[in-house]
């Protein structure tokens, strides 16, 4: 009797062991499936009750039908901006020439994927054709001549995408800490060029959300100038609906208390707040803070220390910095319309070449192999 009993016990132990292994395998598969499902939920879905999560990207991704990058964009973002293709020199390179091929693909991609779309930008002092501020004889254009060009450009472009483009950066980088930027727009037309642009955009598409966009908006002088502009526009009925704060920041600048103060100041004026060009550089610098695109300095190896990869301690600082920023954004979710990253992956970021060509920077959520980084995980974890 002892042998059968012993055999039965062994059978039961074997059965229990095999069952435990099987159950553990099932649990592991379930865990893996859950992890894969979690990964398939992008940031746009995680933050859908807070604000749009956007990405700006270049037209080559669309023209080359880069399925990998387009897949990331569709999964992770619900708002899109074009880095350069809607800028004046790209879309209207001369007075009588328009180029719409890339822009039409951008809009179709947005419509096909039910995305919020922003046109960047209608009026800027930079990235314009040389002929813009010249008359037919090559001389500086008159005020009346430049106003005609402004009217034609804004009305044509906004009307073409009426009802499709949700929002426009109407004017970009026109204000400095001590007043108006001394651009050709101001020198030839005067500061009223800005209100003219907003009125024209509203005339062409009364339902479009109209934004003023600028960098270094944490600085009190610039903040105060923009607040005064907003108050003046509201008083006189100029249609302005949002303020864009370019988020070109670093690990230790700007002072986030001042950055938050600007968000609050614009929200207090009834403006929807947009973080429009977010990236966080990890590299050192020895120049004054700027996003002026014409800035270009000589290469220095000391300012490009991470050519072989990002050290773990710096990677952690990057994740922590993004968390600090997103905690502020969530605090103001009622006024925050959108957070848009200026690029998708590190290999395609403009920061690799600004303001010094040849640098290796790591400012975005996806690495050079297009995989999510620690900073991505940290932002996602805030909503899980």
Written as one string, the DSSP assignment of 206-226 is: TTSEEEEEES-TTSHHHHHHH
Compute the average pLDDT of residues 224-236: 98
Compute the average pLDDT of residues 10-17: 44
Kindly give, in sequence order, each residue whose CB lies less than 8 Å from that of residue 166, ignoring residues fewer than 6 positions away.
116, 117, 118, 208, 209
Is the confidence at residue 9, as pLDDT, over 70? no
The tokens for 50 are 């807070």
Lowest mean pLDDT among 54-63, 170-179, 233-242, 347-356: 347-356
Report which of 252, 139, 123 is spatially closest to residue 192, judged by C-alpha positions: 123
Is residue 335 very low, low, confident or very high in pLDDT (cuts 50, 70, 90)? very high
Region at 57 (left for phi over 0; alpha for psi -120 to 50; beta for the rest): beta
* The predicted structure's pLDDT at residue 213: 98
Three-state DSSP class for residue 48: coil
Q: Return the H-helix or E-strand segment holding 294.
A: none
Is the confidence at residue 15, as pLDDT, over 50? no
**Active-site residue, 173 included:** yes
Name the active-site residue from 83, 173, 195, 337: 173
Name the active-site residue from 277, 292, 308, 337: 277
The whole-angstrom separation of Cα 50 and Cα 240 is 22
Three-state DSSP class for residue 363: coil
Is the confidence at residue 276, as pLDDT, over 80? yes
Phi and psi angles of residue 83, each rounded to the nearest 5 degrees, phi first: -60, -45
Q: Return the H-helix or E-strand segment holding 280.
A: strand 272-281
Compute the average pLDDT of residues 241-252: 97
The whole-angstrom separation of Cα 195 and Cα 190 is 11
Lowest mean pLDDT among 73-87, 254-268, 315-329, 350-364: 350-364
Compute the average pLDDT of residues 260-265: 98
Is residue 295 very low, low, confident or very high in pLDDT (cuts 50, 70, 90)? low
* The predicted structure's pLDDT at residue 286: 64
CA angle 92, 95, 100 (to 5 degrees): 25
* The predicted structure's pLDDT at residue 334: 98
Is residue 35 very low, low, confident or very high in pLDDT (cuts 50, 70, 90)? very low
Compute the average pLDDT of residues 32-50: 72
Compute the average pLDDT of residues 151-156: 98
* The predicted structure's pLDDT at residue 357: 87
* The predicted structure's pLDDT at residue 287: 58
The tokens for 176 are 């400095």
**Active-site residue, 260 included:** no
* The predicted structure's pLDDT at residue 8: 44
């Amino acid at each position: 009797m002892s042998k059968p009993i012993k055999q039965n016990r062994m059978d039961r132990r074997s059965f229990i062991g095999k069952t435990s292994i099987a159950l553990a395998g099932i649990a592991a598969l379930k865990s893996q499936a859950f992890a894969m499902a979690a990964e398939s939920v992008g940031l746009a879905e995680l933050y859908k009750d807070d604000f749009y999560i956007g990405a700006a990207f270049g037209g080559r991704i669309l023209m080359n039908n880069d399925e990998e990058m387009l897949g990331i964009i569709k999964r992770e973002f619900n708002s899109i901006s074009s880095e350069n293709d809607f800028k004046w020199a790209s879309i209207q390179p001369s007075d009588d020439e328009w180029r719409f091929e890339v822009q039409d693909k951008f809009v179709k991609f947005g419509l096909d994927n039910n995305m919020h779309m922003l046109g960047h930008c209608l009026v800027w002092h930079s990235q314009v054709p040389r002929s813009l501020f010249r008359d037919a004889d090559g001389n500086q254009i008159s005020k009346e001549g430049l106003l005609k060009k402004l009217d034609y450009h804004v009305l044509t472009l906004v009307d073409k995408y009426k009802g499709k483009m949700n929002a426009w950066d109407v004017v970009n980088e026109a204000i400095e800490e001590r007043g108006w930027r001394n651009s050709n727009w101001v020198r030839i037309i005067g500061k009223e060029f800005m209100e003219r642009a907003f009125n024209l955009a509203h005339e062409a598409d009364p339902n479009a959300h109209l934004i003023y966009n600028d960098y270094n908006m944490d600085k009190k002088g610039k903040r105060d100038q923009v607040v005064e502009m907003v108050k003046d526009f509201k008083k006189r009925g100029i249609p302005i609906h949002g303020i864009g704060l370019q988020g070109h920041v670093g690990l230790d600048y700007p002072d986030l208390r001042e950055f938050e103060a600007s968000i609050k100041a614009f929200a207090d004026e009834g403006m929807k707040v947009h973080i429009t060009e977010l990236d966080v550089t990890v590299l050192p610098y020895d120049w004054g803070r700027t996003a002026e695109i014409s800035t270009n300095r000589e290469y220095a190896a000391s300012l490009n220390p991470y050519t072989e990869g990002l050290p773990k301690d710096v990677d952690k600082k990057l994740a922590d910095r993004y968390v600090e920023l997103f905690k502020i954004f969530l605090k103001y979710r009622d006024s925050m319309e959108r957070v848009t990253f200026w690029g998708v992956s590190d290999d395609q970021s403009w920061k690799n070449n600004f303001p010094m060509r040849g640098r290796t920077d790591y400012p975005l959520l996806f690495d050079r192999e297009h995989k999510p980084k620690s900073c991505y995980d940290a932002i996602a974890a805030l909503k899980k």
